Structure 1
Amino acid sequence: MVKIKICGLRQDADIKTVNRYLPDYVGFVFAESRRKVSEEQAAELRKNLDERIIPTGVFVNEQQVKIVRLVRKGIIDAVQLHGDEGEAYIRSLKAEIPEVPIIKAVRVRNGSQILKTEKLDCDYLLLDTFTKDVYGGSGKQFDKTLIPELRKPYFLAGGLSAVNVIDNLKLCSPYAVDISSAVETDGMKDEGKIKDFIERVRNYE
């Protein structure tokens, strides 16, 4: 079954919604973004999150000490790296938090770039749309024919919505789908859109 990640949670209402529909993962964004949350905000949100949902911290070129602190405080149980983090960074981080899965994002331009990133010591890839000077969250799709045959499981991101997710799943075989802006209305998470997206993915199975 394809896993589901709802990214960019910021409010108590968001937690209530995901607890109702139970995606597999949620994302707390600690990088610069309109969805950014502080450590304190994330801790409060995490307190009320259903234990069946994996809270994931999203970072861009972050100091490792902060990531390790968030893990050890029990605020996040997975790490998503969306910046320019290389092999040395990832190995060092894994040595500090070996029990925590690491997801490395790829801003897709070509298949060889994806294969190169797959060689890094991460547990999952996250395939997102390349937009110049933007690390993620463009809300745009990329050409799925660029995805080569991969050994590592990957999260599919970039412009997914309830309208197009099934077509995308027919084109490729991701471990999970990741969505943020398309389940929002006026910049806020929309319960109806989250419900619709999750139901479409689960019914596809």
Structure 2
Amino acid sequence: MEEQTRIKICGLTRLEDIDAVNELKPEYVGFVFAKSRRQITKEHAVTLRRYLDPEIQAVGVFVNELPAIVAGYLEEGVIDLAQLHGNESEEYIHSLRFRTGGELIKAFSIKTRENVEKAKKSSADYILLDHGKGGTGESFDWSLIRNMDRPYFLAGGLNAENVEQAILQTHPFAVDISSGVETDGVKDPKKITECIRRIRHV
């Protein structure tokens, strides 16, 4: 039997979002610290984290942030994992590893087979495969990752309508959903519930 696909709901900004995920227990939630309409401050994340079920791991999303700052978030327990969504190099990842024991997710924009090969070589604990810079609500061509031989997070344009097909077609370690569970730009508990129900049903 295949292992259950893990779930990450990204871009939480409100205590209502925390209530919704606490009830449904995805394995991960994401707090966005990079410039985005979902961006929150460190202080806000600390508050949200205080109410988050301790069984759910918090991921911080950063874009080209200083390694010392990312390490601080991990060391202080604001987040459990750091997701690097910019042009962070292997040197950057090694520098961050030197400073902290926290797990790292490196995001890659997938447009060609070359992008996939580059992602496979990353020394991060996990790779995340997305359509573009993240949060675009668009999917990439899943056939590009047919023979992926390392654990990865699948992101980009996932929602309740297509997530089952995505899992059956690509067999990811985890799926990462943000705009697909929103209504008018905010997280929608009904959509989160339906999405998670379908993922766990696969």
The two structures have a TM-score, normalised by structure 2, of: 0.96
2:89 to 86, 89, 102: 86
Match of 1:189 in 2: 187
| Aligned 1:50-199 pairs, distance under 5 A | 50-98=53-101, 100-130=102-132, 135-199=133-197
**Separation in structure 2 between the aligned mates of residue 188 and residue 159 of structure 1, nearest angstrom:** 16
**Separation in structure 2 between the aligned mates of residue 20 and residue 199 of structure 1, nearest angstrom:** 12
Q: Give the AA of the match of 1:167.
A: Q
Match of 2:6 in 1: 3
1:34 has 2:34 as partner: no
Following TM superposition, by how much is the alpha carbon of 1:148 offset from its aligned partner in structure 2, in angstroms?
4.8
Deviates more, 1:153-162 or 1:89-98: 89-98
Following TM superposition, by how much is the alpha carbon of 1:95 offset from its aligned partner in structure 2, in angstroms?
1.2
Which stretches of structure 1, 4 residues or longer, exceed 4 Å deviation after superposition? none
Contact 1:128/1:156 (8 A) holds in 2? yes
Aligned length in residues: 199
**Separation in structure 2 between the aligned mates of residue 63 and residue 120 of structure 1, nearest angstrom:** 19
SS of 2:135's equivalent in the other structure is coil
**Separation in structure 1 between the aligned mates of residue 117 and residue 147 of structure 2, nearest angstrom:** 9
2:52 to 49, 52, 76: 49
Contact 1:115/1:148 (8 A) holds in 2? no
Following TM superposition, by how much is the alpha carbon of 1:171 offset from its aligned partner in structure 2, in angstroms?
1.1
RMSD: 0.9
**Separation in structure 2 between the aligned mates of residue 54 and residue 184 of structure 1, nearest angstrom:** 21
Q: Give the AA of the match of 1:152.
A: R
Following TM superposition, by how much is the alpha carbon of 1:60 offset from its aligned partner in structure 2, in angstroms?
0.5
**Separation in structure 1 between the aligned mates of residue 155 and residue 148 of structure 2, nearest angstrom:** 16
Structure 2: gaps of 5 or more residues: none
